[in-house]
Structure 1
Amino acid sequence: MKYRKVLIIDDAQIDRYMAEKMMKKYEFSNEIITVESAMDALELLESFKTNPEALPDLIFLDINMPQMNGFDFLDEYEKLPELIRKKCIIIMLSSSLHPEDRQRALQNPHVFTFLSKPINAEKLRELCEMTSTGSNNLM
């Protein structure tokens, strides 16, 4: 499955670069947008409210970011118009080994699944399978 548009939200330039490179290599998406902060992402999503076709299919959201972390983003995301919230599938990303982060992410109704960094070909393949079947049990 190839996605029309993907948004990567991560403060770490190397992680954004590697995720984008992997997605391009495996033709995961037609368009990849990267932003370095949750605030930038919220502004971008808000700008699409009059043009929902421009919204990303998938949002890859890092948990650990300065100023506004991934969980803070989700709190603000809840305030966005329903049209936006229904269109986007959120995948939480983290290099954290804390099981509490994974559990907290998966308890959020807007989070489809949780992925450990770095993103690789196998994770992208499994994610495609999961989104096509509706299952969110990525190992």
Structure 2
Amino acid sequence: MNISTSTFQSVLLIDDNSIDNFINKKLIETTGVAEQVVVMDSGAGALDYLKTLSTFPDVILLDVQMPGMDGFAFLQEYAKLPAELTQRCTVFMLSSSIDHRDLIRARENPHVKRYFNKPLNVQELLVYATA
């Protein structure tokens, strides 16, 4: 699958697993889903990065389980960012967690559009990101 024009300007991957980040970044790049892919290995680092931007990424793929600041703690801080920046950004949780409570928490969070299980499925991402 190669998309002739990128669907998204930018995607932000937030995951502490470097192998998952490498695979997901390559998958997004080789399928042409986004013009730019930025990788952050922590929730705190991602928040610091977002605070420097005047325009947020189109999509954030957020892992649930990370040391220090997990995905849900990231979302609590993300909710404090200016709405004019967060409202154009779609957040998806992408996790290998099998804890049903994580799925429920993600569904209840107003900033999370969908919870995906790893590995990333680009076609599924496109369906829900453009819906």
Q: Partner of 1:29 in structure 2?
A: 34
The alignment's TM-score, normalised by the length of structure 2, stands at 0.91
Counterpart amino acid of residue 105 in structure 1: A
The alignment's TM-score, normalised by the length of structure 1, stands at 0.86
Q: Partner of 1:124 in structure 2?
A: 122
**Other structure's SS at 2:103 match:** helix
* Native 8 Å contact 1:45 1:84 kept in 2: no
Unmatched tracts of structure 1, length 5 or more? 134-139
Q: Partner of 1:103 in structure 2?
A: 104
Unmatched tracts of structure 2, length 5 or more? 1-5
Counterpart amino acid of residue 96 in structure 1: S
* Native 8 Å contact 2:114 2:128 kept in 1: no
**Other structure's SS at 2:81 match:** coil
**Other structure's SS at 2:69 match:** coil
**Other structure's SS at 2:62 match:** strand
Identity of aligned residues (%): 37
Q: Partner of 1:136 in structure 2?
A: none
* Native 8 Å contact 1:91 1:115 kept in 2: yes
Q: What is the count of residue pairs matched by the alignment?
A: 126
**Other structure's SS at 2:12 match:** strand
**Other structure's SS at 2:130 match:** helix
Distance apart, 1:132 and its partner CA: 2.2
Structure with bigger helix share is: 1
Deviations 1:73-125 (A, max 9, x none): 00001111111221210000110111211111111000010111111xxx211
Q: Partner of 1:11 in structure 2?
A: 16
Distance apart, 1:126 and its partner CA: 2.0
Deviations 1:45-72 (A, max 9, x none): 1111xx22xx200000000000000000
1:45 to 43, 50, 73: 50
Alpha-carbon separation, structure 1, partners of 2:24 and 2:129: 18
